[in-house]
Amino acid sequence: MTALTRLRLKDFRNYETLALDLDGRHVCLFGANGAGKTNLLEAISQLGPGRGLRSAKLTELTRHGAPDGWTVSATLDDRRIGVGLETEGTGAKRVIRLDGAPAQAGDLADLVRIVWLTPAMDSIFRGGASDRRRFFDRQVMSHIPSHGQAAARYERAMRERNALLERGHVDPAWADAIETRMAEAGAELAINRASVLENLQAAVDARPEGYFPKGDLSLDGDAEAAAIRGEDFKTIFETLSETYRSMRRRDMAAGRTLSGPHRSDLTVIHRPTGMVAGDASTGQQKALLIGLILASAGALSRDDSGPAPLLLLDEAAAHLDADRRAALFEELDALPGQSWLTGTERFLFEAFGDRAQQIEVSAGGAHISD
């Protein structure tokens, strides 16, 4: 099993120091609200590429009153990973070390893949397209780490284009250059999304029937639709380039870019009822979301190009009855990656039995409570 066996924190959120030595089983964190359970999950999420499960700025992670930055170090399958924030004068930068040697963020993707579920994600089906797009892009990043870099390039180019549009007069040559960069990144985004959608749907279909219903997934976006049809990068790039060029006048009137992969949406159908997920009950949405996260982890587990994922499930069991909690633990235990779960009470994890370590979390501290 892919597992953390050692975790050390220094000046991270509410932890001045923390040392946990683990035996490789799943981990259940229990304790009062505000004790720091989610902070522990967030610390683990920093070991992978990206900004972590809260998308917080690096400086926001430093413990209040700490003089410098923070560090998170861990042992994962005999590899030593260290991530932290170093302050230099008025600046600050993220520092990564692998087995004691300096490394880059891209190196983390070869060692760590993380899938998480947080209470903030419960509203994705009821929220706007941007919520679902961010959720899906997070799954895509787990499968294709470079997706995050493509998204950043697209956003930078789009901000430049929008700045031109707001002036009310666009230099065609300047706009062409910016739109070329947008189209290149946008075509990459669309192809990545289409590929992961196919893999994720296959993983959904392969999951057992049970308490966490299956969903039918689709992407609402012209570029993604083209990628799903099998059109190649060049064709999608050229289509996007022409769209941006032909829609400049319309976009100038709006003051922003109205078409492109930044407007795409994920549609999920609750298969047992045939309803769009947003119209399902709160309980159905939660169960469907858990099923999607399990499917995403399952798809990654069958992908031989990288390690099995770690699962971080914040308060996932809190609103499940005993049978559904037991079913969740069975599915987690069938996956080849370690799961970390949080809850306010220890009894929530009884059905896990000796397959998980129980850790009690108190303000700024944690100890194994088997």
Tell me the two tokens of residue 230. 């099998």
Mean pLDDT over 321-340 rounds to 96
Whether residue 358 is predicted with pLDDT greater than 70 in this model: the reply is yes
Query: Comparing 106-110, 287-291, 308-312, which segment has the lowest mean pLDDT?
Result: 106-110
Amino acid of residue 188: E
Closest CA to 117 of 334, 331, 314: 314
For the entire predicted model, the pTM comes to: 0.94
Judge contact between 253 and 260, C-beta under 8 A. no
Judge contact between 237 and 191, C-beta under 8 A. no
Summarize pLDDT for 134-180 with one digit per residue, the tens: 999 999 999 999 999 999 999 999 999 999 999 988 889 999 999 99
| The two domains 1-113+306-370 and 146-288 share their CATH topology (first three levels equal) | no
How far apart, in whole angstroms, are the C-alpha atoms of residue 297 and residue 200?
A: 9
Where are any strands of DSSP class E within the chain?
4-12, 15-21, 26-30, 71-76, 79-88, 91-98, 101-103, 114-117, 215-220, 265-270, 275-276, 310-313, 339-343, 356-362, 365-368
How far apart, in whole angstroms, are the C-alpha atoms of residue 223 and residue 202?
A: 21
User: How many other CB atoms are found less than 10 A from the CB of residue 122?
Assistant: 17
The answer to whether domain 146-288 has CATH 1.20.1050.90 is: yes
pLDDT at position 86: 87
User: At 249, is the pLDDT very low, low, confident or very high (cuts 50, 70, 90)?
Assistant: very high
Whether residue 369 is predicted with pLDDT greater than 70 in this model: the reply is yes
pLDDT at position 109: 84
pLDDT at position 141: 93
pLDDT at position 170: 85
User: How many other CB atoms are found less than 10 A from the CB of residue 55?
Assistant: 12
Q: Which secondary structure element, helix H or strand E, spans residue 160, and what is its range?
A: helix 147-167
pLDDT at position 89: 64
Helix ranges, 169-281 (H): 172-206, 222-228, 233-246, 248-254
pLDDT at position 92: 81
Judge contact between 224 and 190, C-beta under 8 A. yes
Closest CA to 315 of 118, 135, 120: 118
pLDDT at position 90: 63
Domain ranges in the chain are 1-113+306-370, 146-288
Residue 125 has φ and ψ, to the nearest 5°, of -75, -25
User: At 370, is the pLDDT very low, low, confident or very high (cuts 50, 70, 90)?
Assistant: confident
pLDDT at position 183: 98
* Superfamily of the domain at 1-113+306-370: P-loop containing nucleotide triphosphate hydrolases (3.40.50.300)
How far apart, in whole angstroms, are the C-alpha atoms of residue 158 and residue 135?
A: 21
